[in-house]
């Protein structure tokens, strides 16, 4: 009986350690670009419909979280390549698992790291669901690295001091700000 209770306590300890690591991973977003706040199904569909991507275009998601945006975009538009940049090791693991389960591991690539330090020059479409302060810091990176004609979709927040080409508003959904380089 004591062996059984010892095993249960060990499992409980492992579970608590896992919870601690997950929470630390989520908290990491608060101190970087944005906390992880997943898009609702309605907002996700609205964003993906707004992309109007071509299969040969390369989509980047800055702060890709659990990968739901990239998975949805690749499935809808039959994209050949999509890239997520995520700082959290937990969400990198989680999104890679979801991508693998969806059979998309040869089309969606998750890079762990700080998107301020990653090259995004191959992107045709960039998706951001980030805080305004972070978006303001990305302006120079967008100007330097993105090629003419690249599109930037910013969910919920506009890029400070930039005029969007279009603001996509749908009732009950977050605004989407479209910019073109």
pLDDT in tens, 123-151: 999 999 999 999 999 999 999 999 999 99
Using DSSP, state whether 86 is helix, strand or coil. strand
Cβ neighbours for 114, distance < 8 A, ≥ 6 positions apart:
32, 85, 87
Q: How far apart are CA 82 and CA 70, in angstroms?
A: 6
The whole-number pLDDT of residue 13 equals: 64
Determine if the pTM surpasses 0.95: no
Confidence band, pLDDT 50/70/90 cuts, at residue 66: very high
Domain chopping of the chain, boundaries: 41-180
pLDDT in tens, 1-12: 577 766 677 667
The whole-number pLDDT of residue 37 equals: 80
The label of the residue with tokens 């492992």 reads 14
**What CATH fold (topology level) applies to the domain 41-180?**
Rossmann fold (3.40.50)
């Amino acid at each position: 009986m004591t062996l059984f209770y010892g095993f249960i306590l060990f499992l409980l300890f492992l579970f608590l350690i896992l919870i601690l690591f997950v929470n630390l991973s989520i908290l990491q977003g608060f101190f970087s670009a944005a906390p992880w706040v997943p898009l609702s199904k309605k907002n996700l569909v609205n964003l993906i419909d707004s992309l109007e991507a071509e299969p040969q275009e390369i989509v980047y998601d800055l702060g890709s979280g659990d990968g739901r945006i990239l998975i949805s975009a690749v499935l809808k538009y039959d994209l050949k390549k999509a890239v997520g940049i995520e700082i959290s090791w937990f969400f990198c693991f989680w999104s890679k698992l979801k991508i693998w389960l969806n059979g998309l591991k040869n089309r969606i690539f998750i890079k762990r790291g700080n998107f301020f330090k990653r090259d995004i020059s191959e992107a045709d479409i960039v998706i951001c669901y980030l805080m305004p302060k972070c978006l303001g810091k990305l302006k120079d990176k967008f100007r330097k690295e993105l090629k003419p004609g690249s599109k930037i979709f910013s969910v919920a927040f506009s890029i400070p001091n930039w005029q969007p080409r279009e603001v996509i508003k749908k009732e009950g959904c977050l605004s989407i700000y479209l910019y073109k380089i």
